[in-house]
Amino acid sequence: MPARPILAAFDQIVAGTKAVLAAVPEDQLDWRPHDRSWTLGELATHLANLPNWTMATLSVSEFDISPADGGPPPMAALSTTSELAEALEQSAAAARSAIEGCSDADLEGPWTMLVGGEARFTLPKSVVVRTFIMDHMIHHRAQLGVYLRMLDVPVPQVFGPTADFPDM
């Protein structure tokens, strides 16, 4: 997949993500719907920073998501909607720049995900950007929408009308 269609899809996903993150109530960031679920703040922080994975995808040919040394510590949850917006703005800008800097040949190069040093799969980098970054963002954006609904926060429009915003 050439960079141009990836960028168009990426921009659309980021725009919807901005709307969902803007709806996150700051006074509920410690709320979690279940003991095994992330808090609202953890989920929103993860979503805001997901575009950063683009650079790791495009700059190396393999990545270990569970390295022997344990890797970096988890990111602390951001504490305001402005911090979430800024994190998304920065991560999305860096990701977009990384995609723009790739040739079609770069995007078709292989990328392997490792878990504890063991290869789990190898896919073209363009597929990894589409699935493990962009589709991953859509997945967590939808989770965040469920959290908002459970907290009785109006769910913003992303693809079209919502129960809270029926008119486009």
Q: What is the pLDDT of residues 126-155, one digit of tens each?
A: 999 999 999 999 999 999 999 999 999 999
pTM: 0.93
Q: Domains, the chain, ranges and CATH? A: 3-28+38-71+80-150 (1.20.120.450)
DSSP string, 20-56: HHHT--GGGTT--SSTTSPPHHHHHHHHHHGGGHHHH
Instruction: Using alpha carbons, list the distances in angstroms from residue 58 to 5, 22, 43, 111, 124.
Output: 16, 29, 24, 8, 10
Positive or negative torsion for Cα 60, 111, 58, 50: negative
Does residue 125 contact residue 57 with C-beta atoms inside 8 Å? yes
Percent of the chain with pLDDT over 90: 85
pLDDT tens for 18-59 read 999 999 999 999 999 999 999 999 999 999 999 999 999 999
Average pLDDT along the chain: 94
The amino acid occupying position 39 is T
